Amino acid sequence: MEVRKMNIIKYLNFLRSPTNGSELSVDENGLLDKQGNRFDIKDDIPRFVEKINYADSFGYQWNIFDKVQLDRFSSHDLTSKRFYKNTGWTNKILENKDLLEVGSGAGRFTEILLKTKANLYSIDYSNAVEANWRNNKDTRDFFIAQADIYNLPFKKYSFDYVFCFGVIQHTPDPKMSFSKMVEFLKPGGEIAIDVYLKNWKSIFVTKYWVRPFTKKMKKEKLLKLVEWYVPKWFPFSTLLLKIPLAGKFLAQIIPILNYSEHFPELSKKELIDWAILDTFDMLSPAYDKPQTLKTLRKWAVTSNLEIIYCGRGDNGYVLVAKKPEH
């Protein structure tokens, strides 16, 4: 079977050096900017970041659990539903538009975005890009790179849409992450983000008590621990969830992400697979910085955006906002 290769030349017009903003050219050794800085292309994917960085646990998790949450492998449409419901975007408005996806992980949203007719550019800071490329490269042409939200390798004011779900809370400075992405929107362009919610109940969330220890553990050891206790405690956590009124509160005392009430369409095996993946995902990241709704509104206002939606979403709070035309 022919292996699909990325046609980098096709994307050069959009690309810029993340170091100095100059144009990039391509040769047999990779990408080169006007000041002589080189960026590798490894396994067909341009790499604009240092080899080891704070997002390594994500690269590890998404390369192991690369298929678990993709609609096409789970035969559910949970990601598709979340995308359309939370962004308010449609295939029609995305047609032929330039769309940037930031923090794509194993590519569960990339898969959905590729079903639209948008011109897709997708990046992630970790080597999860390899899982994404494996999962999605055979669908149709798109650009993918290992790159940092703080140093995006693109021309500013180029994108009609910027999409970033499940990412901002995992960056060291969520406000800065947001404003960096806004720089890449065209006038009239829209950005959609979602972020873990912070409110007065956050203090009772067990993960924030155990994370100071678990995030420092070796990722291999932590995964072994999670794979050991999650299947064992899952039935008890499910039982707690069923208790009227107090169930949700009681269940979260056990550090397991249990979707049995939230996604009843998942099979027993899928529920355990999702629980192992997302429990590791909540205990391992270097950063987990939930935000209030008030903060999200402030970010939009500070960046001179018009708010289209700011409120509850499927995974915390969602902000959809537009850059004014002028």
Ligand X SMILES: C[S@@+](CC[C@H](N)C(=O)[O-])C[C@H]1O[C@@H](n2cnc3c(N)ncnc32)[C@H](O)[C@@H]1O
Chain residues in the site for ligand X (CB under 6 A): 55, 58, 62, 102-105, 108-109, 124-126, 128, 148-150, 165-167, 170-171, 281
Distance CA(198)–CA(316), nearest Å, equals 8
CB of 73 to ligand X, least distance (A): 13
CB of 49 to ligand X, least distance (A): 8
Distance CA(245)–CA(115), nearest Å, equals 40
CB of 275 to ligand X, least distance (A): 15
CB of 195 to ligand X, least distance (A): 11
Nearer to ligand X, 172 or 235 (CB): 172
How many of the other CB atoms lie within 10 Å of CB of 171?
Answer: 25
Residue nearest to ligand X (CB): 105
Nearer to ligand X, 166 or 255 (CB): 166
**DSSP for 69-135?**
T-HHHHT--HHHHHHHHHH---HHHHTT-EEEEES-TTSHHHHHHTTTT-EEEEEESSTHHHHHHHH
Residues 273 and 68: beta-carbon distance below 8 Å: yes
Nearer to ligand X, 94 or 147 (CB): 147
Nearer to ligand X, 99 or 167 (CB): 167
CB of 127 to ligand X, least distance (A): 9
With 0-12 CB in 10 A as exposed, 13-18 as middle and 19+ as buried, what is 268? exposed
Nearer to ligand X, 160 or 278 (CB): 278
